[in-house]
Amino acid sequence: MLQIQNSPRRMYYSGIGLPFRMGPLNITMGDDCRIAARIALIGRSASQKCPELIIGDNVGIGWRTGIYVGRKIIIGNNVRIAGEGSLSGYAGHPLDATARARGEADLHDQAKDIILEDDVWLGRGVVVNAGVTIGKGTIVGASSVVTKDLPPNVLAGGIPARVIRSLF
């Protein structure tokens, strides 16, 4: 089970099964959220402080999406995350090859926050890297990789994602 810290109203699951949760993770979820089956909510096990996932009201998270919380991930109100996306708040492995070969954890400074402001829409297969903020109302096209902050109210896409045009 998700072990949510609060008691949201009207949470909807779609598909067969429940979301997968692993590692230390405090989850707070808003009302009227739609969560697909087979998503993964994972907290960084090497964290000094328990990672935190904050999900706003009226959020939709699509099938086979992975949310990997390094420190904190904030998903604003009315956000849509299409299926097979990834919010990656930590690397999972150290940059040093010798440390990686020994099976050591990633370094604490590799873990960063991710913020999706209100009304963001991530298309299918979008990857958002650690340390990124996506501004209110921004749409990110399918299969994009977001490596840097995106401003509010733009259409962005590509690898790495770049602003294509304003939405207004």
Catalytic residue IDs: 93
**CA atoms of 140 and 127, how far apart (whole Å):** 10
- Cis peptide before 160, with omega less than 30 degrees from 0? yes
Count of positions (residues) in the chain? 168
Cβ neighbours, 10 Å, residue 75? 25
Q: Dihedral angle at the C-alpha atoms of 83, 89, 92, 94, nearest 10 degrees? A: 140
Distances in Å between the Cα of 95 and the Cα atoms of 68, 98, 130, 131 are: 18, 9, 14, 17
